[in-house]
A and B are shown apart, each in its own frame.
Chain A
Amino acid sequence: MTILIDTTPLVALCDARDEKHRVAVKHLGSLSASEFAVCDAVLTEACFHLPYRSQRQRLRALLDDLNVQARPVANESAFWLEVFDWLIKYADHQPDWADGCLAVLSGRDTDAKVWTYDREFRTTWRRPNGTAIPLAVRSRHRSTPCPA
């Protein structure tokens, strides 16, 4: 199973001052049997929220040591169009590009789960085909992983 990592868990893992740091480390342990993947948009956001050298060194080390895979791996321009379609569909809720990327990637890899602390993935966002986005952890306030 692949875990698509969203911005907030990445930031929480790399910043010990983050309110969700301990929870994120706990989640990382519980998801250890999975493969991890991330998209450019998430890394862009993470770098914004982690502006300092030490934070980015930790992010780099984490990506390397966890062997985090890049997504998508192919059909880049088709992927953009799918994300735009998704953003247009949810325009009233003001999603970000990274939200769209994760929703579309979730639709492409039906076995994948999204690791996020954004409640919109539970309450609002859906895959392009309208089905729910499977989440890797139960909710932003709980530390238990979702059952497989």
Chain B
Amino acid sequence: MGSRLINVRLDSERLRKAQTLRERGVNLSDVVRRAIDERFLQLRSEREPDLKTLMRRIFEQYPDPAVLPPRGYDVHDRGAAREAILRKIRAAR
């Protein structure tokens, strides 16, 4: 996996902490990577309520027409779904 160098500016207090960590054998790059991963996961978990809003917005933005023909088969039934596909292919020929 490729990687890129990212510079981070530190004030004197954080610089002191970083130097202490390094003196104790802590790899600062690992600290930064772990902090990024944790913050990213936190950010993603904050999406949950947003996703319900997102779904509602999508359905509001793209509503079905008043009359939408029923599907006519159970998409969760593997056999029925396959039959429906075959029917459409045969009809198209």
Contacts and interface: CB of A to CB of B under 8 A. Distances in A.
Interface of A: 7-8, 11, 13, 15-20, 25, 28-30, 32-34, 45, 48-49, 52, 54-55, 57-58, 61-62, 65-66, 96, 117-118, 120, 140
Contact of B44 (A19, A32, A118): A32
Contact of B51 (A7, A17, A32): A32
Given A33-B44, A58-B59, A117-B76, A49 B81 contact: yes
Contacts of A61: 58, 61-62
B67 to A, nearest CB: 11
A57 B78 CA distance: 25
A54 B63 contact: yes
B55 A8 contact: no
Nearest to A62: B58
B52 interface: yes
Contacts of A32: 44-45, 47-48, 50-51
Contacts of B39: none
Interface string B40-60: 010011011111101100110
A79 B50 CA distance: 35
